[in-house]
Amino acid sequence: MPYYKIEETLRECVKEEIHDGAAPFVAVMSVDEYRNARDSFQMGIDIDIDLNNVRDTKAIVNYDSLTGTLNIPDHEQFSKDKFKVIYALDERGIVIIDNGTYAERIVQEIHDKRHWKLPSLERFIYDFLEATIRNDMSLLETIEQDLSGIEDSIMKGEIEKYPVQLNDIRAGLLDMHTHYEHLIDLAKEFEENENEFFDEENLRYFRLFSERVMRLQDNVSELRDYSVQLRDLVSGQLSIKQNNIMTLLTIITTIFMPLTLIAGWYGMNFVYMPELHTPWGYPTVIIISLLIIVLSLIWFRKNKWL
């Protein structure tokens, strides 16, 4: 259960220091730890601290506190469970509840790397939220490269069926788009500052964060449009292949129809068929059959069916 004070750096402290009012505090704890220590924070609320009920990212304004949840996707594997965090804050500091190590790792990173000229609770919240999306641009660039690779394979005719990877990418992009929508709403709620927990001058941090998330959301929207175009391109290429197969079968059928007629005709073996008694009858039928094939191919080529 680490405790910190927000000073020029995030300084680790003991529990007794967080209530001295000298600087805002940060507390990171598990659900059980919060249940045992909730009275000491005196936030005057009884929040639902069941992490299993966390479904989205949001902020809830209470009379004398601001609570909410973070539901962060694992961008490396979209199908995995999301990182679920509960938080509660007022003008004195913020309590972060997480049964895993996700929140603690972010806070520890801020502790190790951040030095603030103007330390504040708002700046810490900005840095924490920014850490949840820090690698998203690189992820989107990777997704764009994957989509470009799929497009190259389509144009080269290497894809024989609809790629499952494209479905996975589209599902992941939809999940990210929804997540960014929730983050924007969260930042807007903080910027609204209904309970006046934050300094007016520091509300710019939440505005900066929401603008950055909006840019990421725009990139996601563009990639979603790109994936839809690739889906249509795949369908078009598969349709072209099917049409080519049908064209080939039609050509073969057209060529062999007159040959089948000739075979059926001379297969009747009537006595009075003059070609049966001439030594040139058989070669003549062969030549006629070959001429039919050659003339058919010339005709198909002239009409660009081949």
- Amino acid of residue 134: R
Q: And the tokens for 142? A: 């990777």
Q: Please state, in angstroms and rounded to a whole number, the distance separating the CA atoms of residues 100 and 95.
A: 15
Mean pLDDT for 177-195 is: 92
- Picking from 282, 77, 85, 294, the residue whose alpha carbon sits closest to that of residue 183 is 85
Per-residue model confidence (pLDDT) at position 1: 74
Task: State residue 47's pLDDT score.
Answer: 67
Question: What pLDDT does 134 receive?
Answer: 87
For the residues 23-33, what does the mean pLDDT come to? Answer: 90
Which pTM does this prediction carry?
A: 0.76
pLDDT band with cut points at 50, 70 and 90 for residue 33: confident
Average pLDDT, integer, range 284-294: 78
Report the topology of domain 253-302: Methane Monooxygenase Hydroxylase; Chain G, domain 1 (1.20.58)
| pLDDT exceeds 60 at position 228 | yes
* pLDDT, position 230: 83
Provide mean pLDDT across the span 220-242. Answer: 80
Mean pLDDT of 288-295: 79
Is the pLDDT at 67 greater than 80? The verdict is yes
Q: What is the pLDDT of residues 43-58, one digit of tens each?
A: 656 666 778 788 889 9
Q: Which of 26-30, 119-123, 176-180, 227-231 has the lowest mean pLDDT?
A: 227-231
In this predicted structure, what is the pLDDT of residue 263?
A: 75
254 pLDDT band (50/70/90 cuts)? confident
pLDDT at 306 over 80: no
Q: Nearest-CA neighbor of 88 among 217, 195, 168?
A: 195
DSSP state of 16: G
User: Mean pLDDT across the stretch 172-190?
Assistant: 92
- Tokens for 34? 């919060």
Model pLDDT, residue 272 = 64
**Helix (H) or strand (E) run with residue 78 in it:** none
- For the stretch 165-180, pLDDT in tens is 888 888 888 888 999 9
Question: Going edge to edge, which strands form the sheet with 10-13?
Answer: 10-13, 3-6, 25-29, 93-97, 83-90, 66-72, 58-61
pLDDT band at 229 (very low <50, low <70, confident <90, very high): confident
What's the full length of the chain, in residues?
306
When pLDDT is averaged across residues 280-296 and rounded to a whole number, the result is 77
Task: Using pLDDT thresholds of 50, 70 and 90, give the confidence band for residue 157.
Answer: confident
Main-chain dihedrals φ then ψ at residue 265, nearest 5 degrees = -65, -55
For residue 111, the model assigns a pLDDT of 92
If residue 240 lies in a helix (H) or strand (E), which one and from where to where? helix 204-266
Confidence of residue 305 (pLDDT cuts 50, 70, 90): low
The residue ranges of every structural domain in the chain are 1-116, 253-302
> What average pLDDT does range 133-144 have in this prediction?
89
Domain 1-116 has CATH 3.30.460.20: yes
- Determine the pLDDT at residue 85: 92
> Quick one: DSSP state of residue 274?
G
Average pLDDT score over the chain:
83
Band of the pLDDT at 162, cuts 50, 70, 90? low
